Amino acid sequence: MIKAVAGNLGRGDSKGTLDDVAEVLNMNIHQLKNRLYNKKGQDLTCEQLLELTVQSNSSAIAQYFAGAIGQVVVDLPEPDIDTVDMFECQLKLNAVKGLLDMTIEEARKDGVLDAEERQRISKLKMQFQAMFEGFMFGLDSLYAEQK
């Protein structure tokens, strides 16, 4: 999770590192590693995780916590969405749904879902659910009754 966030902290074309994470949190690398590996009972605080999320512009931390409780993270659509944007969103949604259906069909051919197949299906299901929620937000944004 932290490595995914670190990757977004790079400068230019380079990927970020744990050193970049430590810099954002005003720590040295040893202090950061102590917290990452929970040495001496030290953890990263919620405020530090939020700061990393903001600085990296990454949803990796939110996705980690959402996944732990069976939820998904959804990007909120832009307020100025139009019917063309909604059509594109619907095409992408249908493409992911088709991929999910094909993956399920392929996995069940032998009559058993192994752990790898189950993981692929679960990942696609979460992606579909997140895209569907984004689509619904877009519908509301575009067609909701004005009050």
30/58 same-domain check:
yes
9/55 same-domain check:
yes
Query: For position 13, what pLDDT does the model report?
Result: 65
8/62 same-domain check:
yes
**Of 68, 96, 117, which one is at a domain's C-terminal end?**
68
Quick one: pLDDT band at residue 81, thresholds 50, 70, 90? Answer: confident
Burial of 6 (0-12, 13-18, 19+ CB in 10 A): buried
Query: For position 77, what pLDDT does the model report?
Result: 65
19/56 same-domain check:
yes
- Residue 94's φ and ψ, nearest 5 degrees, are -65, -35
34/59 same-domain check:
yes
Please give the Cα distance from 107 to 54 (Å, whole number). Answer: 38
Residue 75 lies in a domain: no
Number of independent structural domains in the chain: 2
Is 122 in contact with 146 (CB distance < 8 Å)?
A: no
CA atoms within 13 A on the CB side of 27: 18
Quick one: pLDDT band at residue 12, thresholds 50, 70, 90? Answer: low
Residue 17 lies in a domain: yes
Query: For position 14, what pLDDT does the model report?
Result: 67
Residue 77 lies in a domain: no
Domain coverage including residue 7 = 2-68
Least confident of 10-14, 48-52, 74-78, 116-120: 10-14
**Of 45, 68, 91, which one is at a domain's C-terminal end?**
68
Residue 76 lies in a domain: no
pLDDT for 14-67, tens place per residue? 677 888 888 888 999 888 888 888 888 888 888 988 888 888 888 888 888 888
The pTM of the full predicted model, rounded to 2 decimals, is 0.57
Quick one: pLDDT band at residue 11, thresholds 50, 70, 90? Answer: low
93/127 same-domain check:
yes
Residue 76 has pLDDT above 80, yes or no: no
Of 141, 128, 135, nearest to 86 (Cα)? 135
62/92 same-domain check:
no
Please give the Cα distance from 52 to 24 (Å, whole number). Answer: 7
